[in-house]
C-alpha cells in the first residue's frame, strides 16, 4: 500500500490513525482468537475424534456390536481383546460405544439444528414485528416453558410412542422455546439500534433489514446458545432411551446401554460407567467449545 505518507497539514491528517499493516476479515479474527484458545482447541479435537469415530464406525475394524456371547458376559476392561470389556449379553463394549455414538450425536445435533431453524425463525419474526405477533408467538412459547424440558420430552415421546423419529421430534419441540426466546431478545435489542433505522432511511424494506442487519447480528448469539444446547440434547436423548422411549433395544445407544447395564452395577461397575463417561465427555466438550466460540465470535471485543 502506498498511502503511508498522507500529506500532513491537511485537516485529514489529524484524524488519520496509526497505520496498521493488515486488514483482517471477521472470520480471520475469529480464527486468530481460537488459535490462542488452547482449551477450546483441545475440546474441539475431542469432538472431532468422536464424530470421526462415529462416522467411520462401519469401516473400523470392530466386532459386530450386536454379536452376543453367553460365555463372555460382563467381562472387565481389557479382557481377551475386549478393550472396554463386554456388556450383560457379552457384546463388545468398545464397538457398542462407537456405534452408539452415532445415534447419540445424531440426537444431539439434529434436534438442535431443527429447533434453531424453527425457533430462531419464529423468534426473529416475533422480535422484529413486535406488538400482537410478538405476543402470540411468545405466549405460545411460554406455554411450553411451563414444563421442565425433560418432562416435556418424556410427555411428547410417551404420547407418540418410542422410536428414534419420535424422540427426535419431541426433542425439537423441547428446544424451540428457549431458542425462540433468545432470538427474540437479540432481535428486539438490534431492532432499536440506529443502524436499522439508518438502513430504513436508505430505502431498505423489512425483508432486507431482517436478511442482512437483523440476522447478521442475531446469528452469533443464537448460534452460540444453540451449540450449548447440543450437550443438553445428548443428555435428554440418553434419558429418553434410558426410559425406553428413544432408540429400540438392540441398537447401541449410550442412554440405552446405561439403562440395561445398571442392573450389573454390582458385578462390574467400571463397564457400567463407560456409557456414562462417553455422555459426560461428549456433552462437556460441546459445552466448552460453545463457550470458546462465544468468546471468539464476539465482534465488539
Residue 55, CA distances (Å) to 91, 105, 216 in order: 20, 10, 32
How many CB atoms are closer than 10 A to CB 257? 28
Q: Please report whether residue 201 would count as binding another protein according to CB under 8 A.
A: yes
Part of the chain binding another protein (CB under 8 A), chosen from 79-87, 144-152, 198-206, 239-247 = 198-206
Q: Please report whether residue 194 would count as binding another protein according to CB under 8 A.
A: yes
For residues 102 and 213, which CB has a smaller minimum distance to another protein in the complex? 213
Write a three-state SS string for 246-295. Answer: CCCCCCCCHHHHHHHHHHHCCCCHHHHHHHHHHHHHHHHHHHHHHHHHHH
Sort 291 into a burial class: Cβ within 10 Å, 0-12 / 13-18 / 19+.
Answer: middle
Q: Please report whether residue 34 would count as binding another protein according to CB under 8 A.
A: no
Q: Please report whether residue 15 would count as binding another protein according to CB under 8 A.
A: yes
Near another protein by CB under 8 A: residue from 78, 148, 161, 216: 216
Q: Which of 157, 61, 43, 168 is nearest to 105 (CA)?
A: 168
Long-range pairs of 208-211 with CB within 8 A, sequence gap ≥ 24 = 209/128, 210/124, 210/128
Part of the chain binding another protein (CB under 8 A), chosen from 88-96, 98-106, 210-218, 243-251 = 210-218
> Shortest approach of another protein to residue 7 CB, angstroms?
10
Near another protein by CB under 8 A: residue from 8, 23, 70, 159: 23
Q: Please report whether residue 49 would count as binding another protein according to CB under 8 A.
A: no
Q: Please report whether residue 14 would count as binding another protein according to CB under 8 A.
A: yes
- Which residue do the cell numbers 413486535 mark? 130
Q: Please report whether residue 28 would count as binding another protein according to CB under 8 A.
A: no
Give the three cell numbers for residue 248: 429400540
Part of the chain binding another protein (CB under 8 A), chosen from 93-101, 176-184, 209-217, 277-285 = 209-217
Residues forming the site for another protein (CB under 8 A) = 1, 3, 6, 11-17, 19-20, 23, 25-26, 193-195, 197-205, 208, 212-213, 216-217, 220, 299-300
Amino acid at each position: 500500500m502506498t498511502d503511508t505518507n498522507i500529506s500532513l497539514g491537511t485537516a485529514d491528517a489529524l484524524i488519520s490513525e496509526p497505520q496498521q499493516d493488515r486488514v483482517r476479515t471477521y472470520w480471520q479474527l475469529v480464527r486468530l482468537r481460537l488459535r490462542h484458545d488452547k482449551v477450546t482447541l483441545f475440546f474441539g479435537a475431542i469432538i472431532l475424534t468422536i464424530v470421526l469415530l462415529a462416522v467411520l464406525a462401519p469401516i473400523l475394524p470392530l466386532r459386530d456390536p450386536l454379536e452376543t456371547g453367553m460365555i463372555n458376559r460382563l467381562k472387565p476392561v481389557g479382557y481377551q481383546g475386549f478393550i472396554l470389556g463386554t456388556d450383560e449379553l457379552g457384546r463388545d463394549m468398545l464397538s457398542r460405544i462407537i456405534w452408539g455414538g452415532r445415534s447419540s450425536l445424531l440426537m444431539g445435533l439434529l434436534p438442535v439444528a431443527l429447533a434453531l431453524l424453527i425457533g430462531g425463525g419464529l423468534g426473529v419474526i416475533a422480535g422484529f414485528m413486535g406488538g400482537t405477533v410478538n405476543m402470540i408467538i411468545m405466549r405460545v412459547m411460554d406455554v411450553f416453558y411451563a414444563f421442565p424440558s425433560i418432562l416435556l420430552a418424556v410427555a411428547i415421546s410417551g404420547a407418540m410412542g418410542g422410536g428414534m423419529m419420535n424422540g427426535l421430534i419431541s426433542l425439537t419441540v423441547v428446544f424451540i422455546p428457549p431458542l425462540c426466546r433468545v432470538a427474540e431478545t437479540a432481535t428486539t435489542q438490534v431492532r432499536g439500534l440506529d443502524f436499522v433505522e439508518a438502513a430504513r432511511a436508505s430505502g431498505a424494506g423489512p425483508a432486507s433489514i431482517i436478511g442482512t442487519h437483523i440476522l447478521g447480528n442475531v446469528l452469533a448469539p443464537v448460534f452460540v446458545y444453540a451449540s450449548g444446547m447440543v450437550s443438553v440434547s445428548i443428555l435428554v436423548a440418553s434419558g429418553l432411551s434410558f426410559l425406553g422411549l428413544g432408540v429400540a433395544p438392540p441398537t447401541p445407544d449410550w442412554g440405552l446401554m446405561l439403562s440395561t447395564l445398571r442392573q450389573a452395577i454390582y458385578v462390574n461397575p467400571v463397564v457400567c460407567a463407560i456409557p456414562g463417561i462417553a455422555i459426560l465427555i461428549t456433552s462437556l466438550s460441546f459445552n466448552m467449545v460453545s463457550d470458546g466460540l462465544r468468546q471468539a465470535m464476539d465482534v465488539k471485543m
